[in-house]
Amino acid sequence: MRADLGPMDRVDPQQVAIVLLNWNGSEDTRACVESLRRSDAAGARLVVFDNGSRPDDFERLRALEGIELLRSETNLGFAEGNNEAVRRLGGSWSTLVLLNNDTEVPATWLVPLLECLAGKAPALVSPAIRRGAPGDPEEWWFSGSRIDWWLGRPVLETDPPGSEPRRLPYVPGCCLAVHRDDWAALGGFEPAYFAYFEDTDLGLCASRRGIASWMEPRSTIHHKVSRATGEDHPFRIRLFCRNRLWFMRRFGPWWSWPTFLAIQVLLRIPYSLRYFRKPGGGARARAFLSGTAQGLFGKVVS
């Protein structure tokens, strides 16, 4: 793609497929689709994949115009839901953009994202991402990333993103662009994670194959953050605890493990006990213990 690529009518719908995953979030999906129609993505192929939502939520999606609506009868999770959506796209695309349904985009965001992808290929490319909806106080949710091996987790940096693309260890699955051949070479997200850490895993696997991760600051979007489950939901806690340990067992360097385990026992467990005294803490405590046990003793992802 040339650096002088112009307005939205230059985006070929047969080459760019934008995939939104919906799980009981039709109102967020509607707002996202409406913002896409007002943006330089208006000519792209827009696919909404319903991931086992309630019947009433799915029915609301039927009212959306200008989309391809696909559905799974069950919730496949974020990782496999996106994988399945891509599998169902067929052959008429060369560039994939995965986009959370709880995002909204400005008038220009896709063109600079695709320009970066073309210039850095093979690559995974993400925009800089603001927290909240348009009009909320300005706060960055993602402008860079690193991995804290002592804590066994990815860290999103939130400083202003600067003016130049940044090479990173991974980019968040909230929004990423990738060429079809590179997605196929990676095999998509690791489905065993279900949700959380699948994007960090993808970035490290990509790096091993010579596919770099980049943040393009000329492209920005808004992200309403954890609208599907809520950050304190027991389901999220269980997945996050399990997947953190799976991720460490798969990628954690040997030198990080003594400190990582000490932090889990000496700091994380006492902190969690105080946290679980809050209303609803019993369910969160059971989720924490269950996820930790599965992460330590369950079969690690392939």
Architecture of domain 8-223: Alpha-Beta Complex (3.90)
pTM for the model: 0.91
Read off the pLDDT of residues 251-291 as tens digits, 9 standing for 90 and up: 999 999 999 998 877 777 776 666 667 766 778 888 888 88
The rounded distance, in Å, linking the Cα atoms of 25 and 225 is: 12
Q: Which residues contact 96 (CB under 8 A, 6 or more apart)?
A: 17, 19, 86, 89, 177, 178, 179, 180, 183
What does the chain come to in residues? 302
Radius of gyration of the chain (CA): 19
- Residues above pLDDT 70, as percent of the chain: 89
CB-CB neighbours of 260 under 10 Å: 20
Separation between Cα atoms, residue 241 and residue 227, nearest integer Å = 19
Q: DSSP of 60-118, one letter per residue?
A: HHTT--S-EEEEESS--HHHHHHHHHHHTT-SS-SEEEEEETTEE--SS-HHHHHHHHH
pLDDT in tens, 132-190: 999 999 999 999 999 999 999 999 999 999 999 999 999 999 999 999 999 999 999 99
**Residue 55 burial class via C-beta count within 10 angstroms: exposed 0-12, middle 13-18, buried 19 and up:** exposed
Domain ranges for the chain, please list them.
8-223, 234-297
Beta strand 68-72 with 45-51 is parallel
